[in-house]
Chain A
Amino acid sequence: MAETRILFRELDDPALRTIDGYRRRGGYRSLERAFRELEPDFLLGQLEESELRGRGGAGFSMGKKGSFLPRGDMDKYLCCNADESEPGTFKDRELMQKNPHLLIEGIAIAALAVDATRAFIFIRGEYAEQADIVEQAVDEAYEAGFLGENILGSGFGVELVVHRGAGAYICGEETALLDSLEGKRGNPRLKPPFPAIQGLYGGPTLINNVETLMNVPLVVEHGAGWFKSFGTEESTGTKVVSVSGCVQRPGNYEIELGMPSREIIFDLAGGPPEGRGVKAWFPGGSSAPVLTADDLDVPYSFEALAGAGSMLGSGAIIVADDAVSIPELALRTARFYHHESCGKCTPCREGTNWTVKMLERVVAGEATPMDLDIITSVQENIIGNCLCVLGDAMAMPVGSMVKKFRSEFEEQLRGVASSSSGSGANGAAGTAEGTATSSLAQAGAP
């Protein structure tokens, strides 16, 4: 089976990156129609009817989220979340680099739909090259009258600012993103109030992912019914899937939602290198519980992946082949969340720290069977107990690895290296060096 290219149509044509090239391809036609002819309520209705779900991680209905914003004279805001930092995810990077005007068009239409007069693109600081491209496109859009005051004589205006982050995974969490955009340290806020009611500068705020917003002009142009002709009942449209790790053709592929995961991993991305097999895979970024070779026929959709005990998340498939040590994979995963924990909530700050220390002991062959139970219990005590889901995002994959590959962890305890050759074992030398000197048991386990 092949890709279904809607967002990826002619994506590699360099002309698409300029406003002239984009317009020659029919670009900004949806914006013109929306600002000249369509009512905000109609736009919101189309988005709701299309059942377009958020492409950033949570998968919430975009139209529904938009409808939560109150009406009235208060200042309202739209934030495009381009802080793509979920390990394994690189779809927004390619979309923004190659088709920046589609994003701008989507933002302007979504802003009109929810009556937001100020919009921001929060782009991660590491994406300097993409931020330059988007900034230039924003300048072009202002010059053409698609941004700024009184767009196309509609009486409605949108100001759009490209805001560069400075390196913090947590800022992809929507309330941390708002704090960061307000010039603060990026700590998540207590919810409720949700951003739709009280977000940026205390005003109602719609926050959407890059890919979600890029679908908006297509829904407006071709209609909700057309959009729903792609995908499954609960997962409409296409999805850009980032496939990486142990595959022969890593990259972004745009698929119709519901395609069997096996076809994405093997037919599109080429599967693991010759002679190797799939051992574990994350279906939705490193925050998703891992699945195994037994799950390869699960359809790639929100509902089917949830049914398999994991999640579609950001749409990033990371494949680990049979040469990869799962305890080392767990350690590498946990270290990331430990580094990125903002420290505001105790279960996350301490839980990620101790999980790393325990996994270092496991990998070094210094742990006891009790440690595996403590690791499991720590994960259970993080989930649901913090302001945001960063801690959960470590607890879910690490917990799933200990559960599904318990025997491999136990072998590691007995000092038997599960695999000492191949790419995945490369981390061994690096991971053992930071072995913790104190254990959780000594400090009094939670």
Chain B
Amino acid sequence: MSHEYRPTDDLSAAERSELIASMRPEDAERIPELHEVDVPEELKAEIEAAMGRYPELRSASIPALWAVQRRYGWCSPDGIRQAAAVMGLSPAYLQSVASFYDLFRLRPLGEHRVLVCTNISCWMNGADELLDALCDASGADHEAAHHGGANAPDGNVFVSGFECLGACDIAPMASIDDRYYGPLEIGEAEAIIAALRADSEPVPEKALHHRGLAGGSGAGDDPRVPELDRG
């Protein structure tokens, strides 16, 4: 049997299914049909819009998984099947992509997410103790929070140590519901968790966007630097 070689992105969903089946018939996972998955209209539209932004549809895999996660709170098997049906890819393929990246959640997590950076600069500024204090405040398991993350018993808050988040200037810091806050103090842990449980913004005054340049506003008057035009 000889196949003319064509990039799989050029194939239709049906052709791709057939190709997979011809290679590994015993393992082949069918690409689900749209009518089998009951994908919500908005999710479908969002994924199709992402597919339209790239020259090759597979590039929309990560945007599609983001869309699934926004909709369901995690990359649920049903959500992945829905995205797979829209994109004409196998669910296993999308699952393999989702499992590579740290921000995709492969299990349901607390509605509010507190990611504490525990890399070098934050560690030197007390990040481990901050993470422990947040565990104490939320009831999340310390050991699990230090190794991949833990849900608080009430299921509302997820607490996790995390690799460098790119905010060593506000160490120790945390990404709370996708926004950066720091430098955080151990004594603020209780208030942070309480605010999240009340669905309000914790420590708003510590939000990164309030922070100006470290060197202040007046630093630097090199004569080689031209004045900015002021209209």
Binding site for B on A (CB under 8 A): 2-6, 8-12, 23-26, 75, 84-90, 92-94, 97, 118, 124-129, 161, 163-169, 180-186, 201, 222, 226, 229-230, 242-246, 249-254, 256, 268-269, 282, 286, 316, 318, 320, 324, 329, 332-333, 336, 339-340, 342, 423-424, 426-427, 429-430, 433-434
Do the beta carbons of B61 and A183 come within 8 Å of each other? yes
Instruction: Give complex CA distance A427, B56 in Å.
Output: 46
- Counted as pairs of residues, one from A and one from B, with CB atoms less than 8 Å apart, the total is 208
> Complex Cα distance A3/B220, Å?
5
A442 to B97, CA, bound (A): 35
Smallest CB-CB A-B distances: 6 pairs: A251-B214, A244-B168, A167-B102, A183-B61, A166-B101, A167-B103
Instruction: Name the B residues within 8 Å of A124 (CB-CB).
Output: 166
Cα(A50)–Cα(B103), bound, Å: 39
Nearest-neighbour CB distance to chain A for B65, whole angstroms, equals 7
Binds A, one of B11-19, B38-46, B194-202, B205-213: B205-213
How far is it, in angstroms, between the C-alpha of A98 and the C-alpha of B90 when the chains are bound?
41
In the complex with contacts A118-B55, A161-B53, A185-B97 CB distance below 8 A: yes
CA distance A3 to B126 in the complex (A): 29
Does B159 touch A at the CB level, under 8 Å? no
How far is the CB of A3 from the nearest CB of chain B, in Å? 4
Using A10-B228, A75-B55, A90-B166 as known contacts, say yes or no to A423 and B220 having CB atoms under 8 A apart: no
22 cross-chain CB contacts under 8 A: A25-B228, A126-B115, A126-B166, A129-B179, A161-B53, A163-B59, A165-B101, A166-B62, A166-B65, A168-B102, A169-B163, A182-B56, A183-B97, A226-B224, A244-B168, A245-B120, A245-B124, A268-B215, A324-B124, A329-B120, A342-B100, A426-B123
A423 with B125: in contact, given A125-B103, A182-B59, A332-B120 (CB under 8 Å)? Answer: yes
Q: How far is the CA of A85 from the CA of B167 in the complex (A)?
A: 10
Q: Which residues does chain A contribute within 8 Å of B96, judged by CB atoms?
A: 185
Give min CB distance, B122 to chain A, whole Å: 9
Q: Which residues of B contact A9 (CB under 8 A)?
A: 225, 228
Cα A52 to Cα B30 in complex, Å, equals 51
Closest to B125 in A: A423
**Interchain CA distance A5-B226 in the complex, whole Å:** 10
- Which of A75, A226, A250 makes the CB contact (< 8 A) with B169? A250
User: Which residues on B sit within 8 Å (CB–CB) of A430?
Assistant: 118, 128, 146
Contact B100 A185 (CB under 8 A): yes
Question: Are A25 and B230 in contact, with the CB atoms below 8 A?
Answer: yes
Contacts of B36 in A (CB 8 A): none
Q: Is the CB of A88 within 8 A of B121?
A: yes
Q: Give every chain B residue within 8 A of A251 (Cβ-Cβ).
A: 169, 213-215
Could you tell me the distance between the alpha carbons of A26 and B225 in the complex, rounded to whole angstroms? 14
Shortest Cβ distance from residue B34 to the other chain A in the assembled complex, whole angstroms: 20
Residue of B53, B59, B178, B226 with highest tally of chain A CB at under 10 A: B59
| Chain B: minimal CB distance from A418 (Å) | 15
| Chain B interface, >50% SS class | loop
Contact A85 B229 (CB under 8 A): no
Question: Interface code B88-102, partner A: CB below 8 Å = 1, 0 otherwise?
Answer: 000000001100111
Chain B, interface residues (CB within 8 Å), range: 35 or more
> Which residue of A93, A246, A254 is within 8 Å of B124 (Cβ)?
A246
- Proximity bits, B153-183, A CB within 8 Å = 1, else 0: 0000000000111111111000100111000
Q: Which residues of A contact B213 (CB under 8 A)?
A: 8, 11-12, 94, 251-252
**A-side contacts of B61, CB under 8 Å:** 183-184
Contact of A332 among B65, B123, B166, B215 (CB under 8 A): B123
Could you tell me if B209 and A166 are in contact, using CB atoms closer than 8 angstroms? no
Question: Does B108 interact with chain A (Cβ within 8 Å)?
Answer: no
Is B129 part of the binding interface, using a Cβ–Cβ cutoff of 8 Å? yes
Q: Give Cα distance in the complex from A245 to B125, angstroms.
A: 7
User: B171 and A5: CB pair below 8 A?
Assistant: no
Evaluate contact between A6 and B219: CB separation under 8 angstroms. Answer: no
Q: Chain B nearest CB: distance from A55 CB in Å?
A: 15
Q: Is the CB of B123 within 8 A of A427?
A: yes
CB-CB < 8 A to B118: which residues of A? 430
* Residue among B125, B147, B180, B213 with max Cβ neighbours from chain A (10 Å): B213
Q: Does B55 contact A8, Cβ atoms closer than 8 Å?
A: no
Residues of A within 8 A of B125 (CB): 245, 423
Which of A230, A242, A333 meets B224, CB within 8 Å?
A230
**Which residues of A are found within 8 Å of B166, using beta-carbon distances?**
84-85, 89-90, 92-93, 124, 126-127
* A166 with B126, Cβ < 8 A, contacts A2-B219, A11-B213, A26-B228 known: no
Give complex CA distance A126, B212 in Å: 20
Within the assembled complex, what's the spacing in Å between the Cα atoms of A410 and B87?
57
Asked whether, in the complex, the Cβ of B214 is within 8 Å of the Cβ of A269, the reply is: yes
Minimum distance in angstroms from A406 CB to a CB of chain B:
20
Q: Does B2 sit at the interface, judged by CB under 8 A?
A: no
Tell me if B112 is interfacial: C-beta within 8 Å of chain A.
no
